[in-house]
Structures are given as structure tokens and as C-alpha cells.
Chains A and B, each alone.
Chain A
Amino acid sequence: MLSRRALIFLGERLVLIAFTAVAVSSIVFFGVHQLPGSAFLSDRRIDPAALAAIMHHYHLDLSLWDQYKLFVAGIVHGNLGESLVNRGIPITPLLLREASVSLEVGATALIFTIGLGMVLGVIAAIKQNTWVDYLATATSVIGYSMPNFVIASVLVLLFAVYLYNWSGGVLYYEVGWEGTYGTPGQILLPAFALGFPYASIVARLTRASMLEVLRQDYVRTAKAKGLSDRIVIIRHALRNALIPVVTILGPLTIGIITGSVVIENIFGIPGLGKEFVQSILSRDYNIVIGVFTFYALAIGLANLLVDLLYTVIDPRIRY
């Protein structure tokens, strides 16, 4: 499957992603240095000599341009520097661990988004203009009109408070996070809150493109040659209806990343999103830049994955 041309394409894209990540982190680098306040403000009674030593350690005594050169040199080697607040903690391993936590929740949310969205969309399309369709459509409008923190609040209320009271404390959801990766039960609720608004968008898209595809001649042909409805829908219609869904996977990834910033804070998940808000509030510039670099990489890789998926779904597309 991987021809020489495909390998070249893949290589080019990976270089482009790395370049974008460096560009994004550079912009953020200059942006965050405009932020008011400093990570060392809390150390007001610090000895001037010690402060000078710290400034020197972080190269903050150099000009912005010299700092930038050191930063780029570091990033090329995969070194994002040290945390300004928790001094001496290297950022790259910290963010790698947190990224894996975010990935765990985000991937669950994504699978859930696409799964639920497509099922809702296909059902609505097959049962077009029946109450099933209206219910599915109404659900999806409600879904994308609800901010994820509202969904999270309702879920916590239902499963952590009301379920607890109703079952007399036997059956309930414990808001919290165990260890680094949590328990499967703990992942479910945040993933649902994160994915539900986007599941609605996927459902709308799937419905629209399914309706379009179901009217095509080749679907009628497939039915005419005696295939069952299920085979026609799964093997013939759904495959083409998938293309618009794949198209929005890129924006979807961005949506889940930004959504995770809120959701991880609500559920106390030790991922990139929680780190991002914390380090912004504590003015830990180096971590803010690092998180953005990770996000740029994630978005680039997601877009690459989308382009590769196109070739799987639509054999006419080749690179």
C-alpha cells in the first residue's frame, strides 16, 4: 500500500507538521512574554542575588531575541525547558505524561462522538420525517446548544448526586480521578460531556449526506439486485456518507482539545488542559508554550490522519 510516492507525501507532511509546531510555539513564545505578571512575583522577599541567579538559570537576563534562539535550539532537541514555578522540573516528560492522559480521555470522547453521532444520523436518515427523525434531530440541536460544562454539571448532578440519593449510597459516580490514568468508570462521564456536543454535529452531517446518498442510482441498483437493506446501508451508502464526517474530524479534534481544557478542570483530570489553565494562572510561561506546542502537533497529526482516512474510504483519492 505504501508506495514510494506515498512515503514522500508522508515525509513532507511530517516535516510540515514539525515546522507548524515550531511556528506556533514561536508565536506563543512572543505572546506570553507580553503577559502582565511573573512567575516569581510570589517570591517578593527573595534575596536579590538569588533572584539574579534564578533569572540567569532561566536565561531571563538575556534579551528576548537571545532567549528565543535558545528556545528554538531546545525545541529542536525536544527540550521545552524547565517549569518556572516548580523549579528544576523538566517540562517535556511532564507534558508527555499529561498528554497521554488527555489522549486517553480525548480518544474515548472521539470514538463516542463518531459512534453515537453516526448511529443517530443514520437512524434519522432512514426514518426520514418520522418521529424518530424528529427526536434524533431535536437531540442533536439540543446537543450542540449545550456547552460541555453544562452537560458535565447535569451528568454530575444525575450520577453523583441523584443516583446516590436514590440508591441510598449504593450506586453512584465518584467525581475524581485515581492515579494517573483513572478507572474506566471515571473516564466515561468526562468523555461523554466532551463528546456529546460534537456527536450532534456528526449526527446532522451524517443525516444530510445519508439522505443525499440514499437517492443515488447505485443505491437503487444495489437494492434491485436483491441485497438486504442492512447491507445496502452499511456497505454502499454509509461508506460514501462517511466522507463529510471525515472532513470535520480536523475541527472536531480542535473542539475536543479546547473542550478538554474545561472538562479536565471540572473532573480533576491531570491532563494537558488542567495544566494549561493552572500554568496560565501561575504565569508559568514555559509550560504554556509547551502545551501549545503539543496541541499544534496533535492538530497536525489529526489532519494528516484525516487525509490518510480519505484514501481508505474513497479509493479514487490517491497521494
Chain B
Amino acid sequence: MATAPGVATPEEYVGDTLAREQTSLWADAWRRLKRNRLALGSAVFLVLLLVVAIISVFWTPYPIWRQGVAPTYQTPNSDFLLGADQAGRDILSRLMVGAQVSLEVGVGTQIIVAVVGVTIGLIAGYFRGWLDGIISTLINIFYGIPDLLVALILVLILGRGLDKIIFAIAVTRWMDMARLVRGQTFSLREREFVEAARASGTRPNKILSRHILPNALGPIIVQATFGIPQAILFEAFLSFLGLGVQPPTPSWGAMAADGFHAIRIAPHIVLVPAIALSLTLMAFNFLGDGLRDALDPRQKR
């Protein structure tokens, strides 16, 4: 960030300054984010990925489950832009639907994690005492377990549906959000405006939802952005081990696992989903970095 972000141009002082202060955090953050080319590029990539995923709901170049639409192990050519796999299925079509699966898992998990983590974090941070003691212990216990393996067993118990995989990943990954919100609430509850609200008789649930939550929203958004690639990674691991989404629904992890056996003769089968997965995770991580720098410039680096 070259120029000082806090300095406003003269035009910005025109108009109702009070109203301006209300929106300035988000406007400021957006201005800073726009200047971060890596984060902006990542955001564009992710929007494109979302478009591809939505298109794949209605249309794919070839049916994803049909075998033998191309010669087996077909290398990329003009008919099959990304080639075909060991069963002669079109990889581009499967990659598109795989994007849909990955995004659903990533976003779905973070929605559950956000709801559960924020609620638990707010309660623990605001009421403290024995409630916080129990929640903190729970968080520490969950940090001490091999998360992926627990998710794996949960998927086996519950079944291999997409919703169950989302649930299993959320169960093993809610702590990051809960710990963050707990910490934020801890410091926010001591601030003057919260004290003023308390003194004027505002009920705790209103203090939490109207005063504390909006002020903790920045870090929550950043945490959710970093949580999405983690969840996508989890699903990829599960399906790489053959325990993810039920075939023939394609998943990037499962596609890579299929291709791994034929890596000597047809490396494109493993490389295509591997590159897609890495680029997506990278984009989310860059976007998360950018959002963090934009929303909390003091914490940069």
C-alpha cells in the first residue's frame, strides 16, 4: 500500500460527514482491496469458477457419466479440450461438475461453521465464567484430534452424500471460527459503546447482535474466506482416498486418484484436476490475505 489509506480526498468531505463515517470502513476496505491486484485477480478467477459451476448444472460438453465418448486415455485435442480419462469420459465436463461439488462443499461448510462458530464464540466471549470454561475446553479438545480422520469416520457412519460430507467437515472445523469470535467478543465487550449499551439497559442478545457482531464482522469474513479452501481440501482428501462424494458424481480429488494409477501413460488425467484444485485453493488464500489487509490495515504482515 503506497498511499496513506486514511487520508480522504477533498470531495469526500462534501456531504453529510456523519453518514460517511458509518460506511467508511467498508468503502475503505473496498478501495484497499481494489489496489491489491493479486486479491482482485483471485476474486475474478473465483467468479469465473462460480459461473462455470452454475453452467455445469444445466450444460456440460458431454454427459459426465457416459463412458467411451472419447478413446480411453485420450490426450487433450480440439474435441476434448482437456482429454479423456481411463474410462473414456470427457475430463472438461467432469471438471466443471467437480467445481460445483468443491464450491458447494467449501461454501456449505463455512455457512454451518459461521452460524455455529459465531454463536458459540459470542456466548463464550460475552458471558465468560463457567460457560466459557466449558466451551474453551471443548475447543481445545477438538484442536487435539486428527480432524481429517474423524471426518472420515463420520462420513462412513452417516453415508457419502454431499450434505453429510459438508456436515462431517463442519463438525471437525468449527473451532477456528468459535475461537476467533470468542477473542473478538472478549475485547469488544470492554469497549465504551458496549458499556453504554449495557448501562442503558439493553438486553444481552441485542448487545451481541447489534453492537458486538457488526464490529467483529471483518475478521469473521476473513476467517470464512480462509475456511473455504480448507473445507475444499478436506473433501479432496476424502475423495482421493475413495471415501468422498459417491461416484459417478465427479470430484476433483477422486479424479486425481483415478488418474494416479495411469500417471506414466496419461499424466493429464491427474494433472488437470490437480491444477484446478491448486489454483482454486490459491485464489481463496490470496483473496483471504487481501481481505485481511483491506479490513484491518494495522495488522498487515
Which A residues form the contact surface with B (CB < 8 A)? 20, 24, 28, 31-32, 34-36, 141-142, 144-147, 149-150, 153-154, 156-157, 160-161, 208, 211, 250-251, 254, 257-258, 261-262, 265-266, 276-277, 280-281, 288, 292, 295-296, 299-300, 303
Contacts and interface: CB of A to CB of B under 8 A. Distances in A.
Contacts of B240: 147, 149, 262
Given A145-B229, A277-B241, A292-B149, A303 B282 contact: no
Given A32-B153, A276-B149, A142 B282 contact: yes
B144 A299 contact: yes
B278 A146 contact: yes
Listed from nearest, the 4 A-B pairs whose CB atoms lie closest are A145-B282, A258-B148, A145-B281, A150-B274
A266 B260 contact: yes
A147 B153 contact: no
Contacts of B233: 147
A150 B278 contact: yes
Nearest to B275: A150
Contacts of B242: 281
A265 B153 contact: no
A208 B229 CA distance: 22
Interface residues of B, number: 38
29 contacts: A28-B153, A31-B157, A34-B157, A35-B153, A36-B156, A141-B285, A141-B286, A142-B278, A147-B240, A147-B253, A147-B281, A153-B263, A153-B271, A157-B267, A208-B301, A254-B145, A258-B146, A258-B147, A258-B149, A261-B148, A261-B149, A262-B237, A262-B240, A277-B241, A280-B152, A280-B156, A299-B145, A300-B144, A303-B144
A24 B145 contact: yes
A150 B272 CA distance: 10
Interface of B: 143-149, 152-153, 156-157, 229, 233, 236-237, 240-243, 253, 256-257, 259-260, 263-264, 267, 270-271, 274, 277-278, 281-282, 285-286, 289, 301
A161 B264 contact: yes
A102 to B, nearest CB: 12
Contacts of A35: 153, 156-157
A153 B274 contact: yes
Nearest to A212: B301
Contacts of A251: 143
A57 B220 CA distance: 53
A153 to B, nearest CB: 5
A124 to B, nearest CB: 11
Nearest to A161: B264
A144 B146 contact: no
A305 to B, nearest CB: 14
B131 to A, nearest CB: 22
A280 B259 CA distance: 23
Contact of B149 (A34, A150, A281, A295): A295
A275 B79 CA distance: 42
A24 B142 CA distance: 11
